[in-house]
A and B are shown apart, each in its own frame.
Chain A
């Protein structure tokens, strides 16, 4: 297990370096001054000079890339001050350290992901299991039908609808707002309740569908039939044999979704005007704030790679036949 983790992590780090180079050169190798891109349409020579200096654009691109990567591991000095170890540079926009901004925004994204995950995993998996167990009955049809319709909704449509009904028309809930949970647990919960539920509605539908189909597939497997033939109880076989086998596709999906959400559920954050990583990424693109974008990009890619390794390791835990070689 340890060897597997080490080997996969070194591969992941290599891919991260490649992604950083790719993103970096994609922005710097375009036939245009990146400072102009950062500066916008009405750029004054002064602002241009500042950005040039901050970026070290007088040096060759390879040197710039080296400095950037060096900064991530060892820190760098900028005009605005020293940028310590994981240094992702200084924002073009507000001259803040990118790493500080990301640290600032991350708790919201984490809360959003964790809360949503709890709601949609419990809801989706139990609905899927029940539907699979009662396959063909009216209950199954209701669950499948509802999840089909719900999964066709989009957050940017459902979000405003829910806000309109529960916040503006009836006033039962207040507008979503992030309060750090270390500050006030109840306010944190109430502030994020609507985003969690809206996000979970759509995800729940997906998980219901996948849990159901994967359970039904497993229930037709030989080993499940053999266990039943030996006279084991239906419930025991259902939970210990079929359920365990159907966890593999579910684990894959959970891993991908966690990575995507931690890297910024951009639409959710935009719909509910929450200031998390996703909104930061969007704003950095709109404001042409390259260092911030690089930072968010690398962090999101890191989440994807970490989740990939974790899910692969989890396969071996779920299914002993899987060898981590």
Chain B
């Protein structure tokens, strides 16, 4: 017999996918069983902190995506050296003149010391680079974790053994060190040493190293969950009915794995954003002139004695973003599993 739980959760998975969007469907009036996804969405909507922080996180992503548009309306871009073109903006030490980091009605968040670029557009474009690089990397990691976890857990045996050993091996690699070490290697594979590395190759390299070392936690978890699901009656029933392994994985297992995948995703995305920022801070991620959130801190830490205001806006944005993201993660976990004591 197929458990009613997972018939509904097939639709649930699509409901969950559309859940973070702004469109919330009106709840059906008649009394019928609700899918886990609908239940989660109802619980989530009632959690005011969760909704507010979700809105903040979405606003960050939207603002970052619309960076070019906003910059156009605002009339500046992150590449022009305004301070060099207009000598009044920077003083004799190349610091923003007039104090306060050069904040004015023209330059909302001030201007960058030395080069004299606009901080507001730099931050917008920088967030765009960091957030979307991390988002792509996280999606890839989740996909990889899902595939390896389910394959290992479902098929078991030798496949599982070797996948497990491979996971162990990658878990023992010092990840931050590996990120830093692998970046130049990967870029030299694609680019001759006497050429400048194009930005898209850097992006691919960053996504690649993150992906390579980011999926193990999720795959371990999913493997464990799959192991327990594999012997449940509904999987057995599907097998007896003659379903192919692919169909069982897609229709029987995956819907039951949506919760751990989403919950782990709320952990993975912020840590990936931080890793992208870390790479750029250390100096092997995005380089000039690509604006990047993490690199703003490395610029800032060079000049914080003279111009502490420069780092204020990227820093405050980062704190707000991560507070919102942490709260959102807590709410998502609560909504999925109301038993967790918080």
Contact = CB atoms under 8 A, between A and B. Distances in A.
B316 to A, nearest CB: 9
Contact of B311 (A152, A157, A220, A263): A157
Contacts of B298: 156
Would you list the 6 A-B pairs with minimal beta carbon distance, nearest first? A152-B322, A300-B174, A157-B315, A160-B304, A216-B341, A156-B297
B318 A27 contact: no
Given A30-B189, A159-B301, A213-B342, A301 B180 contact: no
Interface SS, B side: helix
Taking each of A16, A297, A308, which has the highest tally of chain B beta carbons within 10 Å of its own beta carbon?
A297
Nearest to A264: B177
A241 to B, nearest CB: 16
Contact of A37 (B172, B188, B301, B308): B188
B3 to A, nearest CB: 28
B85 interface: no
Interface in A278-323: 281-282, 285-286, 288, 293, 296-297, 300-301, 303-305, 308
Interface in B265-302: 274, 277-278, 281-284, 294, 297-298, 300-301
A144 B322 CA distance: 15
Given A154-B318, A264-B177, A285-B184, A160 B301 contact: yes
Interface of B: 168-169, 172-174, 176-178, 180-185, 188-189, 193-194, 274, 277-278, 281-284, 294, 297-298, 300-301, 304-305, 308, 311, 314-315, 318-319, 321-323, 326-327, 340-342
A15 B193 contact: no
7 contacts: A15-B172, A16-B172, A148-B327, A157-B311, A216-B342, A217-B341, A266-B180
Contact of A30 (B188, B297, B311, B326): B188
A210 to B, nearest CB: 13
Contacts of B183: 285
A168 interface: yes
Interface residues of A, number: 56
A300 B174 CA distance: 6
A149 interface: yes
Interface of A: 12, 15-16, 18-19, 22-23, 26-27, 30-32, 36-37, 40-41, 148-149, 151-154, 156-157, 159-161, 163-164, 168, 213, 216-217, 220, 259-260, 263-264, 266-267, 270-271, 281-282, 285-286, 288, 293, 296-297, 300-301, 303-305, 308
B180 A154 contact: no
Contacts of B178: 297
B327 A157 contact: no
